[in-house]
Amino acid sequence: MKKLLAVLLAMAMMLALAACGDTGSQNNGGQNGENQSGTGDTNTDQNNPSSGEVTFDKTIKLIVPYDAGGGVYNAAIIVAAEAQKYLGTTIDVVCMAGNGGQEGIEYVYNQASDGYTLLATDYGPLISTAIEEDVVYQLDEFTPIIEMTQVLPTFFVKSDSPYQTMEDLIEAAKANPGQISVGHGKFHSVPHLPLMLLEDLSGADFNEVPTSGGSEALAFTLGGSVDVGASVPSTVAGSVAAGDLRVLAVAAEDRAPEFPDAPTLKELGYEVSMPAWYTIFCKSDVPQEIRDALEQGLADVIASAEAQETAAASNVTLTGTGSAESYTLYNNTIRDLTTLLG
Amino acid sequence: MSKLKVTNLRNIGLSCGVMILSTAGILHTFLGGGWSKKTGEAAKLYPRIIYGILIVVALSLLVMELAGRVPPEPPAIAVVKWWQPLLILAVGVAFFLFVLYVGTAAGILLYLCGTIALFDEDPKKHWKMDLLVAVIATAAMWLIFTRILPIVTLKQLLI
Amino acid sequence: MALGEVLVQALGSAFQPMTVLYAFIGVALGVTVGAIPGLTGDMAISILLPFVYKVDPTMSLGLLIGIYKGSMFGGSISAISFGVPGTPAAAATVEDGYPLAKKGYPKRAMLQALYSSVTGDFFSSILLIFLTIPMGQLAIQFGPTEFFALYVFSLVVIAILNRDSRTKGILASVLGLLIGAIGTDPVTGASRMTFGIKLFRGGFATVPVLVGTFAISELIIQYANAHREKILYKLGQAKERLTIDLNKNKDDKYGWKHYWDTFRCTVVGSVIGTFIGILPGAGSSIACYLSYGVGRSVAKDADEFGKGSLNGVAAPEAGNSATCGASIIPLLAFGIPGSATAALIGAALTMQGINPGPTMFSANQVIIYAFFIIVLYASFFNLGVSRLLIPLYAKISKMKPKYLIPIIFALAILGCYTTDNSISNVWTLLLFGALGVVLRKFRIPLGPFVLGYLIGPAAERSLRQALSMNGNNLMVLFQRPIAIAFYIATVAFIFIICYTFKKNKETLDKGAHSDDE
C-alpha cells in the first residue's frame, strides 16, 4: 500500500513538475522568503493616474541574464547604487544566467507589467537567441528604457605580429584565404558578428576560431595559438597599455576612448559598426507613465556625479541614451542581426 | 561459465542497455527531431563518437561478464528498493514547490516534520524531540536563506 | 616609489584593523557557505560584489579572498561529514573522507583536510607572490592542442584508477562525456540532444549536477537504510540507537605523525593544484581529481584509497586549495582569470579601477602588495577559524540520520536554487539524484562520471578548435611538445597502474573482497 502511495505521489509530483517546468519562472515571493499569498498584492497603489504622479514604493528588480562580474552586471550595479536618491526606491540586481540567460528573460517576461521587474542586457541573449532558437517571447514585447553603456568590438594582435595595420591584415587574408586564424570569443557573440560582416564586405577569408570568451581569445593571441584576437576593450586594455598587444581597429562609429590611435573600420572604408549596447528594458505593455518615470529617474541616476565618478573609476563610460533613441538602435540591431544570422 | 549471480545479470543487463541506448542515440543524431536550426553536422559528430565508444566499452564489459568475473555488491546499496528514490524525489519536489508558492518558513517546517517522521523508527514516541529539532532547524534555515544571504546586498550593511 | 616604501604602505594597508576584520569575516563566511551543500564561495562573492563599491579597496579584497579560501575548505567539511561535497572542488575528498568519518574518525579526516589545504594554499600563494610573471608565461603556452591533451590525461587517470573494474571506470567517464554533451554545442552554442525537453536546453549547471549525483543519491541510500532499520526495529530486532557513532571511544585525534606520513601526497596535490590552477579554465574539480589520482599512484597505502586513507584526503585537499592562489596568477599577469572565482576577484579589482594585467604592477603597486600580504595571512585565518569549527561540525555529523538527512536535503535544494536564482537547478538536482542512485546500483563509479561531465564540453571545444585551426588535420594533436608530453604521461600511467594492479590482484585473489562503500 505504501509503495502504491509513493508511486502515485511521485507521479503527481512529476505532473506538477512538467506543468511548472513551462511556467517555471513564476515566483510569487518564495525567492526572498516573503510570505506572499499570490500576485494580488503587486502595487494597487503604485501609480495614481489621477494625480499624474508616479512613485515607486517597492524595490525594483533588475534582472541580468549573465553571471556576476561581467560587463552588463558591472554597469547594472553602478546604476543600481545611486537609485535610491533619484528613483525613490532601491534597485536589486539579480543574476539569472540559467539556460543561456533565457531564464532571466523569461522571468521578466512572466512578471506583471508594473515596472518593478526590469531587464538589463546586451543583444546576445535577447535578440540573437530569439533569431536562432525558439523563445517564448516576441522581440517587440520588450522596449528599451535607457542605455547604460556601449562596448566596442576590438581587433588586436600581438605586438610582434607581422600585421601592423588592419589593411595589412585584410590584404594578407585575401592572399591566403582561410590561413589566418582569429580567436573571437563565443560563436555569434559581440566580437564575432562584426568579424563576419567584415569578411562579407572585404572579401577576406579568415579562419574563425570560436573560444569560450574574451579571456580565452586574449590568452590564445598572447600565446601565439591564433594570429588575431577579437574582443572588447576592457579585456585587452591592460595588455595594450603594457605593450604586449596592438589594437588594429574597432567596429564602431567613433574611436574608442581607451585606444585613441586605433581607427574605426568605417574610417578604413568598411561599413562595419556594431557596438554592443547594454540597455535596460521593460515589457512593452508597461503603462506609458511608468515607463516615462523610469526613464526620467534612471537618466538622473546615470547623469549624477556619484554614478559618473564610480563609472570612471572602473573604466566604464555611462551613456544614458534615452528610450526613443535606444528604440531606434534596438530595431536597427534586430534588422542587422536578422540579416547576418537569420 | 561460472554461475550467474545477481550482479552478473545486472552487469549484463547494463551492457545490453547501454548498447541499445547508444545505437538509438546514433540513429537519433541521423534521423530524429529535437535539433535546432543552428545544429550543424559538426555538433553531431561528437555525440556520435561518444555513442560509438560507449558501444565498444559496453561490449567489452559484456564479454568480461560472460567470462565469469563476479564483483560483490556492497550491502548499503543493496537495500535500496525501487520505489524509495521516487518517494524521496517526490518529497523534494513537493517541498520546493511548497516553499516557492506558499512560503519559506511554513514549507520548511512542514517538510521537516513530515520527513523526520518518515525516517524515525518510532514517531509516536519521539514526537516532542522531533518537533523541537524541526522548529530550530526551520528557524536557522529561514534566517540563512531569507535574512543573511539577501541582506548582504543592502547598502545599509553596518560594520 | 621605492620598494621599501611600497612595502611599508602595503603593510599598513593590509593590517588595518578593518581589513583584518573583513578578512576574518570572509573566511568564516566562506567556510560556512562552502559547507552548505548547494552553496558555493562564488555565490557568496557574487552577492557581495556590489559591496565593493562602498568600502575601501583593500578591505573588500580581504573579504573576497577570505571567502575564496574559506569556501575551498568548507566544501570538504560536508564532504567528510555527510558524504556531500559542499563545493565542486571537494568532490574527490568524498572518496576517502567520508569512509573515514564512517569509521569513526571525522575529526581526524577534517584536520588532515585542513592542514593539507593550508599547505597547498600557502605553496601556491608563495608562487603567486614571487613568480607571477614566469608562471604566467607558462600558462600562456597552452593552446587548444595542449588543453586537449591535458583533458585526455585527466580522464584516463581517473577512469583507470577504479579498483573494481577499469572497464567500468571508462564506461563511467564516457557516460559523463555523453551527459555533458547534452544541451549546447560548446563551439557554436547550438542546442543538441535536448529531445525537446526544456530543462535540457543550455545544459545543466555544475553545482546541482555534482550535489545531485553525490549527495542526493547518498541521501536516498541513507533513507533506504533508515527504513530498513525502522522495519527491523518494529520487528524487535534492532535496538534504538542513540547516535550513529559506533566508535564513541575511538581515539579521533590528529597529530604531527599523521601530517608527515601524508606529506608526500600533500606535496603532490600542491604541485598539481598549482599547475592546474594557473591554466585558465581548467578548474578546481580537475585539480582535485587529478591530485587524487596521481597521489594514489605515489602513496604507500594505495590499496586503502577509497576505504578511508588519510593520503586520499591529503592529496585532493592540497590540490583544490592550491588552485586558489594559482588561479590569480594569470589574472595578475595578463588579466586572464584562472577560474570563475578569480574572474570575480578580477571584477572586484576592475570595479575599483585596477585593471588586472601587466600594468597593474606599475600603476597600483601598493594595493597589489597589500593584496599579497592579505593572501598570506588569510591562509592563517583559514587555519584558525576552521580549527574552531571542525569539532562543531564533527559533532553535527554524528547527529541522528533521521534529523540530519532531511535537513541536508532541504539545504541542498534551497542552496541550489539560491545559487543561480534558478528553478531549473532544483529539477537538475533531483534528476541527477535519481541518476546517481542508478549509477551506484550498477556499480558505475561516480568520480569518473562527474569528471567526464565536467570536462567533456571543454575537451570537445579544444579538440574542435585545434582541428579547425589546422585544417582538420588530426596529426596536429600530436605536434606540440607539451601535448606530446601529456600523451606519454598517459601511456606511462596506464602501464604503471596495470602493473600495480596485476601485482595486487595476485595477493587479493587469495582472499575475498571486503568492500564497504
List helix spans (H) across chain B.
6-31, 41-66, 75-78, 83-101, 104-119, 123-142, 149-151
Q: Do A246 and A158 belong to one domain?
A: yes
Q: Is position B156 within any domain?
A: no
Nearest Cα of chain A lies from the Cα of B92 at a distance, in angstroms, of 9
Q: Is the pLDDT of residue C508 over 70?
A: no
**Domain enclosing residue B63, as ranges:** 6-78
Domain-located, residue B44:
yes
Which stretch, A96-105, B30-39, C27-36, C427-436, has highest mean pLDDT? Answer: C427-436
Q: Residue A19 falls within a domain, yes or no?
A: no
Residues B98 and B130 in one domain: yes
The CATH number given to whatever domain includes residue A202 is 3.40.190.10
B71 DSSP assignment: P
* Interacting residues of C189 by C-beta distance below 8 A, sequence separation 6+: A100, A186, A187, A188, B38
Mean pLDDT taken over chain B: 74
What's the gap in Å between the CA of C63 and the closest CA on chain B? 13
Q: Shortest CB distance from A6 goes to which of B86, B104, B153?
A: B86
Q: Which residues of A touch C188 (CB under 8 A)?
A: 187-188, 210
Of B93, B101, B105, the CB nearest to A17: B93
Percent share of chain C, pLDDT over 70: 92
Q: Same structural domain for residues B88 and B74? A: no
Instruction: Please tell me whether residues B57 and B99 are part of one structural domain.
Output: no
Residues belonging to chain C: 517
Enter the C-alpha cell of residue C362.
606599475
Q: Do B42 and C440 touch (CB under 8 A)?
A: no
The pLDDT of residue B150 is 63
Give which of B36, B87, B99 to mutate to test A binding, by max A Cβ within 10 Å: B87
Average pLDDT in chain C: 82
What pLDDT was estimated at residue C66? 92
Nearest alpha carbon to residue C479 among C147, C145, C150: C145
What is the pLDDT at residue B32? Answer: 62
CA atoms within 13 A on the CB side of A219: 29
d(CA A138, CA C66): 44
pLDDT higher than threshold 50 for residue C111: yes
Query: What is the mean predicted confidence (pLDDT) over A29-52?
Result: 39
Q: Is A132 on the interface with B (CB under 8 A)?
A: yes
Quick count: other Cβ atoms within 10 Å of Cβ A312?
12
User: Do A63 and A120 touch, CB atoms closer than 8 A?
Assistant: yes
Q: Would you say residue A265 lies in a domain?
A: no
Among B78, B107, B123, the domain-final residue is B78
Does residue B94 share a domain with residue B65?
A: no
Q: Say if C48 is an interface residue toward chain B (CB within 8 Å).
A: yes
Question: Looking at the structure, do residues B73 and B97 belong to the same domain, yes or no?
Answer: no
Examine the domain organization and report whether B112 and B139 are in the same domain: yes
Q: How far is B4 from chain C (nearest CA, A)?
A: 16
- Summarised one tens digit per residue, pLDDT across range B113-141 is 888 887 777 777 778 888 888 898 888 88
Whether pLDDT at C507 is above 70: no
| Residue A27 and residue A107 in contact, taking contact as beta carbons nearer than 8 Å | yes
Closest CA to C41 of C73, C2, C81: C73
Residues B117 and B60 in one domain: no
Of residues C178, C187, C430, nearest to B50 (C-beta): C178
A93: chain C residues, CB-CB within 8 Å: 50
Rounded CA gap, C413 and C406, in Å?
11
Residues A337 and A281 both lie in one domain? yes
In a domain, A43, yes or no: no
Entry field: residues in chain A: 342
Confidence of residue C56 (pLDDT cuts 50, 70, 90): confident
Per-residue pLDDT tens over the stretch B70-108: 555 565 566 777 788 888 888 888 888 888 887 788 888
Q: Is residue B146 part of a domain?
A: yes
Give pLDDT tens digits for C327-347: 988 888 888 888 888 888 888
Are A328 and A280 contained in the same domain? yes
Q: Is the ipTM of this complex over 0.85?
A: no
Nearest residue of A to residue B150, measured between CA atoms: A32
SS3 (DSSP) at A118: strand
Of A235 and A138, more confident: A138
> Grid coordinates standing for C47?
552577492
Which residue in C84, C11, C74 sits closest to C41, CA to CA?
A: C74
Q: How far apart are the first and last CA of chain B?
A: 73
User: Average of pLDDT values for A91-103?
Assistant: 85
Q: Give pLDDT tens digits for C174-219.
A: 999 988 888 877 777 777 777 767 777 777 888 888 888 888 888 8
As for how many domains chain A has, the answer is: 2
The residue among A216, A250, A284 that closes a domain is: A250
- In the listed set A250, A285, A302, which residue is the last one of a domain according to the structure? A250
Q: Answer yes or no: is A41 within a domain.
A: no
Residue C259 to chain B, least CA–CA distance (Å): 31
A290 lies in the same domain as A144: yes
C-alpha cell at A321: 541614451
- The CA distance from A204 to A18, in Å, is 49
Please answer whether residues C74 and C32 qualify as being in contact, where contact means their C-beta atoms are separated by less than 8 angstroms: yes
Is residue C336 within 8 A of residue A215, CB to CB? The reply is yes
A-B Cβ pairs (cutoff 8 Å, strict): 67
Using pLDDT thresholds of 50, 70 and 90, give the confidence band for residue A154. very high
C114-118, C375-379, C391-395: the lowest-pLDDT one: C391-395
Mean pLDDT of chain A: 82
Among candidates B142, B94, B135, which has minimal Cα distance to B116? B135
Domain range spanning residue A305?
58-151+276-341
Task: Let me know whether B100 and B36 are in one domain.
Answer: no
Residues B109 and B47 placed together within one structural domain of the fold: no
Domain match, A67 and A142 both: yes
Tally of structural domains, chain B: 2
Chain-centre distance of CA B101, in angstroms? 23
Place of cell 547494463: B14
Strand partners, A48: A53
Among candidate residues C246, C516, C252, the one with its CA nearest the CA of residue C394: C252
